[in-house]
A and B are shown apart, each in its own frame.
Chain A
Amino acid sequence: TMFPLLLLLLPAAHAIVELQYKPALIQTPPLEGLTTASTFVLDQPRCVFEKYGNADIWLVVALDKAASTFNNTDAPGTPETAFQGFPDRVPAYMTLNATLANYPCPKRDGDITVLRVGSETSCAQDEERPTCNGPLPGPGPYRVKFLALQGSEPVAETAWSLPITLRTAKSPSSISTTDSRHSAGMIAITTILSILFAILLAGLVAMLVFWGSDSCGGSSTFSKPESVSVRRYNTHHVYDQPAARL
């Protein structure tokens, strides 16, 4: 009776618990740097690994299309899971080693609990640091999951996350700088000033053309300060006539 019981227990002992938690990008507070060209920010797995106080919790990062090829028995810190080989030689790498103490439960209000994937730039080329949390080499999409290892045995894992796509930067020469509209103010200024200038030029031409012509001087002529006095001439003729009648 012991033997079948042992056989029953063995698969149970080796089965990895599939936790219902799905890793996701952090939702609150809204972060401007949630995804950049080479990093992304995950929510910490708080209150998820409560039963695994002795385990090391690792983050597994894989390209979306290679996620299914990851074997849970692959050990961290080996060339098969080294960040430096990702994605050409290594389909998925393991990084961000933590224990339950790093993820206390429950989360304190007001704390921002994040995991920034891709923040370590100093060890990105260092083969001695296979568990480096180095910047991601392309826009992805990537999928992540958490794996709890006790010793070197995997004991629990979360589900794979939804695909995470990073930002791709465009070239600045694609910015078009030639589509500027003419504002209403500029059109008004141009047209009105042109009309005024044209009227003034016409006035100047009229002035010069009719220079010296008294007939077109307007309704009244203005006398200069020294006015010319008009003298009347009387002829002898006019004064003699009344004398002749007498």
Chain B
Amino acid sequence: MAKSDGCVHILQGLLVFGNVVIGMCGIALTAECIYFVSNPHGLYPLLKATENNDIYAAAWIGIFVGLALFALSILGIIGVIKASRTLLLVYIILMLITFAFEMASCITAATHRDSLTPNVFLKQMLERYQKSEPANNSDKELTKTWDELMLQNHCCGVLGPSDWQEYTSAFRLTHNDADYPWPRKCCVLNAQGLPINLDGCKLGVPGYYNSNGCYDAISGPVNTHAWGVAWFGFAILCWTFCVLLGTMFYWSGIEY
């Protein structure tokens, strides 16, 4: 019995360690998801306009799953030390429910990230940027977001200024092609917010306009967000899987 006592203690130690790691990872997941939900790059209006902001839903689920993991890990530690069958059964069942939610969150984040191609943003920008009547609130938000995006990242359009030339757009309806081949925000601006050389910008002379597209500036943060939620969640679930298997093994060996 001494040998099996040693085995018991090792298994208990491993399970407690596993639960501690789960608890810490739960807190980390909550923190990461709160960061994403707080919209640090100001891209939320763009995603909301695609009617596909499930990446945000995945982050919201992640916040609650993280807290649940933390709480359940404490329950798990208590159950392992006391070797109580009921506590551990409750722990296992609740952990499985949390596992299912987190799995949904990871898969949602990954799937919806894949659906955010450049064409989605291009179509949305052409149809809604600077849309005149009727313009609802989300159109105005979208225009504001694009203006800030183009100003801060020194970029124009989704793939380049030629987006405005290759396609007709809501912008083109109110701004004629000769005066505004592309929006004024695509020009290099001085400190007062005016183009440094308007003719150079209209002609497309290198140095007076921004020639690269904004897709990189959008996809960078969106990728970080989606893969952060998806892959970190995946890692936590793999670890949780091992701990749960160990707990099931431990549970079935407890005398009652």
Contact = CB atoms under 8 A, between A and B. Distances in A.
Interface in A15-50: 29-34, 36-39, 41
Interface string A65-102: 00000000000000000000000000000000000000
Contacts of A183: 110, 113-114
A222 B8 contact: yes
A39 B1 CA distance: 93
Interface residues of B, number: 69
B110 A190 contact: yes
Interface in B174-221: 176-179, 181, 199, 202-206, 209, 211
B225 interface: no
Contact of B165 (A37, A206, A207): A37
A177 B106 contact: no
B56 interface: no
Interface stretch (B35-43, B91-99, B132-140, B146-154): B91-99
Given A30-B206, A200-B245, A204-B96, 17 more contacts: A31-B203, A33-B203, A135-B176, A167-B165, A171-B167, A172-B169, A180-B117, A182-B114, A183-B113, A186-B110, A186-B114, A186-B230, A189-B234, A190-B110, A199-B245, A201-B96, A206-B248
Interface of A: 29-34, 36-39, 41, 112, 114, 116, 118-121, 135, 167, 169-173, 175-177, 179-183, 185-186, 189-190, 192-194, 196-197, 199-201, 203-204, 206-207, 210, 212, 216-218, 220-225
21 contacts: A31-B203, A36-B165, A38-B176, A38-B178, A116-B202, A121-B176, A121-B179, A167-B166, A180-B117, A185-B227, A186-B230, A192-B234, A193-B107, A194-B103, A196-B238, A197-B100, A207-B248, A216-B252, A218-B253, A222-B4, A224-B83
